[in-house]
Amino acid sequence: MRKLYTICLTFALLCAVAYAAKKYPMTAASIVPGARAEVAISKDKNGNTRLKMTVRHLANLANLTPRAAAYVVWLQERGGNSENQGQLKMDKNLKATFETVTPLKSFDVFVTAEQELRAKAPSGSEVLRATIQP
């Protein structure tokens, strides 16, 4: 009986965590009109913000004008500087996921098409954007 109780409690906690994730649609720029993306936000055990971005139909980098070397994910707190979070890697079916953890609570998340993966500041065309608010 105790084992069944533990299994049920574990299942309930997993459902609660999944339900607690809040989803935000991302707005696609006119240069990638077919792109669809959303960001799921949840809290980790330390109170940080866990971000999971899911992207579909984002244009191949070689098809952009001007061409770009990488899609870069950025986070920017209100009034703060943009921080490079890394590369959004598309598969052959033009799908991608990106995950990160941040101490930020209210911020913008956006994706740019950059000439350099390790860009210190966004300089390429913005292709996706969402505003995250608790």
Mean pLDDT by 10 residues, the chain (134 residues): 60 53 95 95 96 96 90 96 96 95 97 94 96 91
pTM reported for the whole predicted model: 0.83
In the prediction, which pLDDT does 52 show? Answer: 98
User: What are the chain's domains?
Assistant: 22-132 (2.60.40.200)
Residue 26 is encoded by which pair of tokens?
């991302």
Per-residue confidence (pLDDT) for residue 21, from 0 to 100 = 85
CA-nearest of 28, 48, 46 to 37 is 28
* C-alpha R_g of the chain: 17
C-alpha 21 chain-centroid distance: 13
